[in-house]
């Protein structure tokens, strides 16, 4: 599944959110990638620099990456991309227990910190229900297919290409 979402409020007006998920993609990864807008005045127009990014790695390699353009040392105007990484496992050692063990422990202790609240679950279903309604009303539903160990069907790439964007594939 790949989709483009917009949030209807003043803070996020016009900011697209792209979601992609699937089984048997090229890599097992849960992450949030925030790509920052380019500044309206680009000082180094002739230099090709990747956009600044903040990547929150949820699993399996928990951590945070920040990527941005920086001038290389020296007299020449040379811009390069810099990436700073924090990897939880490298800093604090291997995980002592699985996510399921943590979940069960929290249940036994009555700690609901990591659990979704009811309003959060309802908000998630409000995204899914219109899709299910369209599918149930349709005579036939065409689902794009893709080969195992790829990043999904061509249609998911086309979703972003319509806006001159592309997926970040780790």
Question: Over the stretch 10-35, which tens digit does the pLDDT of each residue have?
Answer: 998 988 999 999 888 999 889 999 98
Tokens of 116: 């979704």
Residues 6 or more apart whose Cβ sits within 8 Å of residue 133: none
CB 50 within 8 A of CB 166: no
Is position 57 within any domain?
Answer: yes
33 shares a domain with 78:
yes
Judge if pTM exceeds 0.85.
no
21 shares a domain with 7:
yes
Domain of 156 in residue numbering reads as 1-26+116-170
At 109 the pLDDT is 93
48 shares a domain with 70:
yes
153 shares a domain with 133:
yes
How many domains are there within the chain? 2
Calculate what percentage of the chain has a pLDDT beyond 70: 94
At 95 the pLDDT is 63
Tokens of 22: 């699937």
Q: Tokens 């609240």 map to which residue?
A: 117
Which tens digits make up the pLDDT trace of 97-155? Answer: 777 888 899 999 999 888 888 999 999 999 889 988 988 888 787 888 899 999 999 99
């Amino acid at each position: 599944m790949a989709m483009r979402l917009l949030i209807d409020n003043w803070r996020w007006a016009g900011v697209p959110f792209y979601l992609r998920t699937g089984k048997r993609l090229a890599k097992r990864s849960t992450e949030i990638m925030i790509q920052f807008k380019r500044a309206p005045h680009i000082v180094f127009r002739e230099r090709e620099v990747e956009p600044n990014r903040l990547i929150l790695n949820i699993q399996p390699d928990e951590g945070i990456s920040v990527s941005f353009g920086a001038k290389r040392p020296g007299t020449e105007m040379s811009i390069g991309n810099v990436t700073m990484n924090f990897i939880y496992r490298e800093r604090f050692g291997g995980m002592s227990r699985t996510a399921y063990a943590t979940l069960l422990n929290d249940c036994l202790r009555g700690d609901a910190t990591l659990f979704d609240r009811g309003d959060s679950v309802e908000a998630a279903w409000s995204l899914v229900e219109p899709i299910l309604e369209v599918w149930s009303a349709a005579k036939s539903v065409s689902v794009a297919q893709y080969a195992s160990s790829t990043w999904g069907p061509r249609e998911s790439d086309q979703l972003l290409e319509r806006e001159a964007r592309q997926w970040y594939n780790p």
